[in-house]
Amino acid sequence: MTILYLILFLLGAGLVACLVERTNANAPRWISLFAFIIATIWTGAIWLGGADPETGFYVTGELSWIPALGINVLLKVDGLSLVLIGLTTILGVIAVVSSWSEINVSRGFFQFNILWVMAGVIGVFCAYDLFLFFFFWEVMLIPMYFLIAIWGHEDRSYAAMKFFLFTQVSGLLMLVAIIALVWINYANTGVITFSYDELLNVELSGTVGSLLMLGFFIAFITKLPSVPVHTWLPDAHTQAPTAGSVILAGILLKTGGYGLIRFTVPLFEEASRDFAFVAMLLGVISILYGGYMAYSQSDFKRLVAYSSIAHMGFILVGVYAFNELGMQGAIVTMIAHGFSTAALFMMAGSLQERLHTREMSQMGGLWVKAPRMGAMTMFFVIASVGMPGLGNFIGEFLVLLGAFKVNVPLTVLATVGIVVAAVYGLSLMQRSFQGTPNAQVATMQDFGFREMSVYAIMIVALVWIGIYPQHVLDLAQPTLDALGIAL
């Protein structure tokens, strides 16, 4: 039940943060910060507690919910879930700190939304009941919608609407697929159940399997996002407040990758194998298209947003390579991208706070005035480009290794994407931090202790994954073994 308590703890902290705003306007962010720190320690404790050697789960929880429909609150945490929950709680801390001075209206409700969206995401990462999974999947949308719609930038209404609409509609397709799957199982066995483990055994005919698989697949690649359902992402990321972008890029996109690994592939193995080429092709297109679009942006935040599409393409390629290397690569990419992109979005937020613009043409020569910011940007751009020794390299390299075994031409094209990444990454660096200083820059303040300590966390994480990825690989390995598919 620990994991349920963790979710309830974050939800409760959200309510408290919302209510104390009346008495103390600064209290909500402290409450939120401590809640995420406690949650991180909590997750660490679960990790240290070790997995049950028989089942491979760290913690499990089960509670009757809607017995009439065979729906239970069924939560299980295995290695993959644990890594992603850890990422969630750490990025929670980072999101709160990154928005420390940015938010001045209704701080309580702001922290409420951050805490609730994170609670929803943790639920997504450990739900083993498909109804519960869908429940969390949709629930995390609402607070995210508010984050963009209330505290976003100039075009927030449009961006928030687009974000919600894309995810909700694709989610409905998944809902229909879930119900159809459950009812097929009901027709076969006479039992209505939404339990993941039971539904793994459903026998599906070719066409039905493919259709249901598509229902899940579309929902997940919309979230991931992949071409052609990616158009919500540049708007949502650009318009969201810094904390919103950090959460979106760092965590919410990963729920799509997680869904593919946990649900689409094991539930519809045969259909997924038949579909693998198309999925990999979509991944490669995303890599190249995302890179190309990123290069042509003049808005700092939009550039990073498009680069996310490119990086997420690697996840799609890795998962559908259908081998251990590819899957492991996808998982490592998820974690590494979570940190590197969160850092870059934070940087965009800090720049906007100081310069009141995201246009790179208004920047230039920032390094002179703010060497710490420059160094940090350099580090995370390099990480994002895929420098060996840092987390992203490991992930993308493993994906390419896995994909090479399956389809050489697509792998070659995906590799070109890494070159493109170097081009847009370095151009971002040059346009904003190098060159002749702009007049506005004269008064710019460099990072203080608060910002630097947050970046330090992310640097440590990326170096750790980059130099010794075995920790993440070991955590994810049992999950891949247990998926029940031959890799």
Partner 1 sequence: MTLSDLWVSFPLVVLVGGTLILMIGVSIVRTHRLALGLTLLALILSLAAHDISLDHITEGGYELFGLLNVSGVQVFFNALFLLGATVTALFAYPYFDARVERCEEFYILLLTATAGAMVVAAATHFASFILGLEILSISLYAMIAYPRQSHPPLEAAAKYLVLSAVASSAILMGMALTYTATGTMAFAEITLSPESGERSYFLLGQALICVGIAFKLSLVPFHMWTPDVYQGAPAVVTGYVATVSKGAVIALLITYVQSTDVLSYDGVFYAVVFVAVASMIVGNLLALLQTNVKRLLAYSSIAHLGYLLIAVLVVNTARPELVLETILLYVAAYFIITLAAFGIVNLTSEHETEDNEQLEAYAGLFWRNPLLASILTAVALALAGIPLTVGFIAKFYVFAAGVEGTAWALIWALLIGSAIGVFYYLRLIYTMVKEVQPGATALPRIGTQSVVAVTVLGLLIVVLGVYPTPMIDMVRSIVQSSGF
Considering beta carbons, is residue 33 or 175 the nearer one to partner 1?
175
The amino acid at 298: S
Query: Quick check: 328 and 77 in contact, CB under 8 A?
Result: no
The answer to whether residue 194 forms part of the interface with partner 1 (CB under 8 A) is: no
Query: Residue 470, class by beta-carbon neighbours within 10 Å (0-12 exposed, 13-18 middle, 19+ buried)?
Result: exposed
Name which position in 23, 48, 68, 486 contacts partner 1 (CB under 8 A): 68
The answer to whether residue 139 forms part of the interface with partner 1 (CB under 8 A) is: yes
Name which position in 5, 183, 277, 468 contacts partner 1 (CB under 8 A): 183
Instruction: State in angstroms the smallest separation of the CB of 51 from partner 1.
Output: 30
The answer to whether residue 67 forms part of the interface with partner 1 (CB under 8 A) is: yes
3-class SS of residue 412: helix
The answer to whether residue 149 forms part of the interface with partner 1 (CB under 8 A) is: yes
Instruction: State in angstroms the smallest separation of the CB of 122 from partner 1.
Output: 16
Rounded Cα distance, 6 and 88, in Å = 12
Name which position in 36, 125, 164, 258 contacts partner 1 (CB under 8 A): 164
Rounded Cα distance, 281 and 287, in Å = 10
Rounded Cα distance, 299 and 391, in Å = 26
Binding window for partner 1 (CB under 8 A); candidates: 9-17, 51-59, 171-179, 418-426: 171-179
Name which position in 4, 33, 142, 485 contacts partner 1 (CB under 8 A): 142
Binding window for partner 1 (CB under 8 A); candidates: 169-177, 229-237, 322-330, 439-447: 169-177
Site string for partner 1, 105-124 (x = CB under 8 A): -x------------------
Considering beta carbons, is residue 1 or 69 the nearer one to partner 1?
69
Name which position in 37, 172, 281, 429 contacts partner 1 (CB under 8 A): 172
Q: Which of 86, 88, 17 is nearest to 58 (CA)?
A: 86
Rounded Cα distance, 32 and 16, in Å = 9
> Would you tell me how many other CB atoms lie within 10 Å of the CB of residue 305?
29
State the angle between helix axes of 391-406 and 300-320 in degrees (0 to 180), rounded to the nearest 10: 40
How far CA 327 is from CA of 124, 190, 299, 375, in Å, comes to: 19, 35, 33, 32
Binding residues for partner 1, total number by CB under 8 A: 30
Binding window for partner 1 (CB under 8 A); candidates: 134-142, 389-397, 439-447, 464-472: 134-142
Residue 70 phi/psi, 5-degree rounding, is 65, 35
The answer to whether residue 69 forms part of the interface with partner 1 (CB under 8 A) is: yes
E-state strands within 67-157: 71-77
The answer to whether residue 66 forms part of the interface with partner 1 (CB under 8 A) is: yes
How far CA 455 is from CA of 13, 113, 217, 372, 461, in Å, comes to: 25, 23, 34, 10, 10
The answer to whether residue 134 forms part of the interface with partner 1 (CB under 8 A) is: yes
Instruction: State in angstroms the smallest separation of the CB of 127 from partner 1.
Output: 12
Report the interface residues with partner 1, using CB under 8 A: 65-69, 106, 134-135, 138-139, 141-142, 145-146, 149-150, 157, 160-161, 164-165, 168-169, 172-173, 175-176, 179-180, 183
